Amino acid sequence: MSATRVFVARLAGCSVFDPAGDKVGRVRDVIVVYRASDSPTVVGLIVEIPGKRRVFLSIGRVTSIGSGQIITTGLINLRRFEQRGGEVRVIAELLGRKVTLRDGSGEATIEDVAISETGPGEWEVEDLFLRRPRTSASPFGRGKTTFARWERVTEKTTAGEPQSAEQLIATYSDLLPADLASTLLDLPEERRLEVAEELPDERLADALEEMPETEQVELITHLDDARAADVLDQMQPDDAADLIAQLPEAKGEALLQLMQPEEADDVRFLLNYAPETAGGLMTTEPIIVSADATVAEGLALIRRHELAPALGAMVCVTLPPYEPPTGRFLGVVHFQRMLRYPPHERLGTLLDPNLEPVSPESSAAEVSRILASYNLVSLPVVDESHRLVGVVTIDDVLDYLLPDDWRSTAGDAEPEPVPLTTGTIPTRGRRPSDGPRRAR
């Protein structure tokens, strides 16, 4: 049986199944439409299907909601979701809004929304879970919570007052950086900027690295300079350099002045190279060790959680100093080779004799040819003095080679609606078209 009352925040991330038990995707949001006199009605769900495509699922196709899963039947249209006028996303737009209680008891913030089933395939907003302003001076104090029916509150609209994104950010906590970036880009512009303001620096930096340049510039220029510099500090130097290169020269220099000196130096160094060269594509944070380092030490370095997989595929061996530009570059040791030797083996004896580094002036085409020819995921870059200055990773090359709009599939041919199952499943006495109408 379907649950008759569900809190929307708990639906985020729930699996969606067809009647045969095959997983269709995951819920990312709930779409409602306001009504003149009654509470908002639910028209459907935003579901993320394989391929990271977000599609609309009409609430009339949902036969069961409960136990952390949603059962659906009928057809699903795989056209990418586009929000229409009058539609409101509960998680992305409604949570965090301020309301005024009509009983005169003051204001509160919406932290969750309960929807209830009023009939077969028909759901509407029932209760709001609210948090009142805190009364304690303690920074850790929180206001009391209460429930209120929709008709007992009035939404508060104050020009220039930002909407809280705390609850929304909590629902995004399990998203990978690329998925977080995609989710932010799906939000209305004003809401996107509000969420960016409240995201932690590291989380926002991860998302920015996965966004197109235009949206990167839009977000970073919206932040005040001090916050923007903190976010740039958390980005990979090559990504930060690419972003700063898109800004007006005066703005970029101002942000570099506010960044941590070591991070700013790396970015300035990368800005010296043309974007279509190995120097413009490389990162200055590879794993660098001495020839006397052991296999055990090398494996410990590549186990670091924050290390990108491509950077962990090999360690670079150089003479001191061990920060780019290093002493003379000696070679690289692939992590698979390290796994074949005892922990005490010296890395200087395990160098790959066949891997030749490239110069910073090497073209992106040449770098990609070498990576493809020798099945590599990263390639060392050395200067004219044979000092290691960085490494180019496969993801940086792909970012350069792919079209500017590769993150968007808006231009893809839209597939036709397909059945979720080949069998005929009863739908509790209603036709597949019953429930709130929405052509997709």
DSSP structural state of residue 311: G
Token readout for 306 is 């924050």
> Pairing relation of β-strands 69-72 and 15-17?
parallel
Strands of 170-298, DSSP E: 288-289
Residues 65, 401: contact at Cβ < 8 Å? no
Q: Is the pTM of this model over 0.75?
A: no
Which of 339, 328, 336, 401 lies closest to 368 in space, CA to CA? 401
> Which burial class, exposed, middle or buried, applies to 100 when counting CB atoms under 10 A from its CB (0-12, 13-18, 19+)?
middle
Cα–Cα–Cα angle for 79, 82, 84, rounded to 5 degrees:
130
Task: Indicate the angle between helix axes 213-222 and 225-234, nearest 10 degrees.
Answer: 130
Which of 188, 170, 181, 184 lies closest to 12 in space, CA to CA? 170
- Hey, which residues does 317 pair with through a beta bridge? 289, 331
Task: Give the helix ranges, DSSP H, for 303-385.
Answer: 335-339, 364-373
Looking at residue 203, its amino acid is R
For residue 347, give Cα distances in angstroms to 16, 284, 299, 339, 392. Answer: 49, 21, 11, 12, 21
Residues 6+ apart with CB under 8 A from 402: none
Specify the residue for token string 């949902």. 62
**Pairwise CA distance, residues 440 & 431, whole Å:** 17
Residues 6+ apart with CB under 8 A from 30: 8, 11, 42, 44, 45, 46, 89, 90, 91, 113, 115
**Pairwise CA distance, residues 341 & 345, whole Å:** 7
For residue 412, give Cα distances in angstroms to 122, 402, 408, 415, 417. Answer: 33, 15, 9, 9, 15
For residue 263, give Cα distances in angstroms to 230, 268, 395. Answer: 10, 9, 21
DSSP structural state of residue 416: P
**pLDDT per residue of the chain (440 residues) written in tens, 0 to 9:** 456 789 998 888 889 998 888 888 899 999 999 988 889 999 999 998 887 888 999 998 888 887 778 888 766 778 888 888 888 999 988 988 889 998 888 899 999 999 998 888 889 999 999 989 887 766 667 788 999 999 999 987 655 556 667 777 877 777 888 888 988 888 888 888 888 988 999 999 999 998 988 899 999 999 999 999 999 999 989 899 999 999 999 999 999 999 999 999 999 999 999 988 999 999 999 999 999 999 999 999 999 888 888 999 999 999 999 999 999 999 999 999 999 999 999 999 999 999 999 999 999 999 999 999 999 999 999 999 999 999 999 988 988 888 766 665 544 544 555 555 433 333 333 333 344 444 44
Specify the residue for token string 């006397």. 292
For residue 83, give Cα distances in angstroms to 30, 45, 92, 165. Answer: 11, 11, 12, 20
SS3 of residue 135 by DSSP = coil
